[in-house]
Amino acid sequence: MTGVLIAGTASGVGKTTVTLALLAAMRRRGLIVQALKSGPDFLDTGHHTRLSGRPARNLDTWMLGLEANKDVLRQAAQGADAVLAEGMMGLFDGKDGATESGSSAEIAKLLELPVILVADASKSARSIAAVVLGFELFDSQLPLAGVILNRVAGDRHFRMLEAAILSVCKTPVLGWLPRDPAIAIPERHLGLQTAEELDEREDQAEITERQIEALGELAEKYLDVDRILSFECGLDLQSKPVLRQSEGAGSVRIGVARDRAFSFYYEDNFDLLRQHGAVIVPFSPLHDLSVPENIDALYLGGGYPELYAEQLSANAAMCASIRAFTASGRPIYAECGGMIYLSRQLTMTNGIAYSMAGVFPFVMEMTGKLQQFGYVTIELTDDCLLGARGTVIRGHSFHYSRMVNISETDTHYRVHYSLSDKQENEGYGVGNVLASYIHLHFRAAPAAALHFVEAARKMQGAHTVSTGM
């Protein structure tokens, strides 16, 4: 099966643009393409999903073991003609500077994915050859299949760059892309705008088709798409992992917040919840007046609640419904943006404060800089919604807000941040509600999904409090 990993010499060189262009070109050719993203990224996977028409998946060698990554790839590849993975940061960037742990290079080698290197050539001439040669020599075991040059001034510029590379490098040049505003995706403090934000625009269908057309045309004009389609993943992707349905009572319905404000989820988390009998029911805290009927649990993911704080606050009916759901004793699991929504108040950097759902007593404050960033390991300090005391799960932290007035709130996690080596108590609990800044990947500890579903199943029929107004 066709399979490649699109990597970069560094962050910001245009990996996403190249990936989307290739997705669009393959879609135009009638191929079914499965997109993946290395690392703990939610934004790129949303755009991959939007263009490919299939839920994109995350590969991650720090949060997940080798076999779990293989399972993610094999499961995702079912029914596809090609798999196209986008790397994170620079090709060799990962958990630390001394090893390849967590890097796109490690993923490519473990999953036998040929690597296409993207380089920003906007300010380069012959020196681009030194860059490509350095990547060739840095790791001789890396399956480097080709290089694509981005932000090239024109054909004459490309011919100069190509000649320089071919004079000293073995890596074939697979084409180039010009700088083109027609395919630009707006950015903000956490990265690109989410696919959900673009999807809610009234003219979105037209924009999607126009962007796909523009991206596909660029790829066909400037890239060697035929040669790229000839690269194959070395793993056997035809053997489908067996996802055994857990035994027990009937299904449970889990309401999942999905709109412009809440969109950061690992698709594999949903797979594991479904495996244990969950039915995923999306709803919008921005637009709906209450949580869906006959819901047994809520899952509030991360996103951009700070950008829609006024609208979330103004939807008093939904806030009341969330509080009523909490009072019923049914479980709620919230991550990052979801926890912000469950707080008493969110204060913006300009000092304006908005009331939130009020499940937790603390206040959240937006700041002008990252508060915690990087990979995280948590250990459950007591039995809670996601498992028994001592359970270890890995995840990721990335947020610009901080918490105030948290001393009276119980915690269930002991958190270890990999970059700073800082440790602290986290994972806040009120009743049957668990909330944290940490985005957890359930495949890092699959029993967490089972515990969540079982907590919801236990409460089926036991609640008497209405979730409406």
Mind listing the pLDDT tens digit for each residue in 307-363?
A: 999 999 999 999 999 999 999 999 999 999 999 999 999 999 999 999 999 999 999
Distance (Å, whole) CA 163 – CA 73: 36
Which are the contacts of 203, defined by CB distance < 8 A and separation ≥ 6?
Answer: none
Q: What pLDDT, on a 0 to 100 scale, did the predictor assign at position 181? A: 67
**Is the pLDDT at 242 greater than 90, yes or no?**
no
> Alpha-carbon dihedral of residues 261, 430, 420, 374, nearest 10 degrees?
-30
Mean pLDDT (the chain, rounded): 90
Residues 6+ apart with CB under 8 A from 236: none
- Domain positions in the chain are 2-229, 252-458
Interval 90-119: pLDDT, tens: 999 987 788 898 899 999 999 999 999 999
- The answer to whether residue 197 scores a pLDDT higher than 80 is no
Is the pLDDT at 237 greater than 80? The verdict is yes
**For residue 188, what pLDDT is reported?**
40
What was the pLDDT predicted at 464? 47
State in words which class domain 252-458 has. Answer: alpha beta
pLDDT at 463 over 80: no
Res. 201 pLDDT band, cuts 50 70 90? very low
Closest CA to 118 of 128, 127, 109: 128
- Identify the active-site residue in 169, 233, 336, 384: 336
Q: What is the pLDDT of residue 180?
A: 72
Is 70 exceeded by the pLDDT of residue 399? Answer: yes
Residue 6 reports pLDDT greater than 60: yes
Q: pLDDT at position 16, please?
A: 92
- Superfamily designation of domain 2-229: P-loop containing nucleotide triphosphate hydrolases (3.40.50.300)
Reply yes or no on whether the pLDDT at 208 is more than 80: no
**Given a cut of 90, is residue 299 above it in pLDDT?**
yes
Most confident stretch, 58-72, 195-209, 396-410: 58-72
- pLDDT recorded at residue 369: 85
Residue 140 pLDDT greater than 80, yes or no: yes
Q: Give catalytic status of residue 336 as yes or no.
A: yes
Q: Sign of the CA dihedral 443, 103, 122, 370?
A: positive
Summarised one tens digit per residue, pLDDT across range 150-162 is 999 999 999 999 9
pTM of the model: 0.89
The CA-based angle 408-398-92, given to 5 degrees, is: 145
* pLDDT value of position 95: 77
- Give residue-wise pLDDT tens across range 23-44: 999 999 999 999 999 988 888 8
